[in-house]
Copies of this chain bind each other. A is one copy, B any other.
Amino acid sequence: MPSVDFYYDFSSTNSYFAAFMLPQICARSGAVTRWLPLHSAALFRGTGFDVMAMAPSKARYLWRDHARYAEATGLPFRRPSRFPIKTALALRCVLAVGGLDANDEARARMNLSQALFRSYWERDENIADPEVLASLIRGLKLDPDAIIARANSQEIREELRKITSDAAERGVFGVPTFFVNQEMFWGKDRLDFVEQRLKRDRRTDGLD
């Protein structure tokens, strides 16, 4: 089955939009989403990019642009009061979902990721706070104590580091980033290209 690798971080506005738009595109295209939480602060340390080094006029514009995207997509995006925010524990919680079969695990990762995006970008909650994380995990009928304990294990810390460094090796320099086969697309405003690419691959593969 065709798949899209989806690299994202909860601190990224554009990842928020992609997290809800991409699953719809994959559903329409008969593809699956591979949810790959990525520690963008660590990625930026490697590339020298500084998210806060931005002209004030550009920063102002980007918030306006996000508001227009919210209107266009119908997603209830709201500018959070805490920005940027530390996301390492939240990212590791997504990786720590376990004890389920593969399908259920993939679904649980998606559900927890979307719940985290909604918490931060719609309800302005502090997703760096373990109490907030626990409450979101509980809302998905999963065990918060077990997941947060596992999220703090060396194994899961190493998994997040590896996803992030593997992504950098593939050429990822920011999020959201999508791969269809080995073709890379950056930004929510390239989701139309992702969809076209999935369609083209289906034709090439004789699925249509």
Contacts and interface: CB of A to CB of B under 8 A. Distances in A.
Given A49-B55, A55-B47, A57-B168, A64 B184 contact: yes
Interface residues of A, number: 24
A57 B184 CA distance: 11
Nearest to A184: B61
A48 to B, nearest CB: 7
B57 A172 contact: yes
B174 A58 contact: yes
A173 B57 contact: yes
Interface in A152-208: 168, 171-174, 184-186, 189-190, 193, 196
A48 B174 CA distance: 21
Q: Which of A48, A65, A172, A196 is packed against the most chain B CB atoms within 10 Å?
A: A65
B65 A186 contact: yes
Interface string A38-57: 00000000011100000101
B193 A72 contact: yes
B61 A173 contact: yes
10 nearest A-B pairs in the assembled complex, by CB-CB distance = A47-B55, A58-B173, A189-B189, A57-B173, A57-B171, A55-B173, A61-B186, A68-B193, A61-B171, A61-B184
Given A64-B184, A65-B190, A189-B190, 6 more contacts: A48-B55, A57-B168, A57-B172, A61-B173, A61-B184, A72-B193
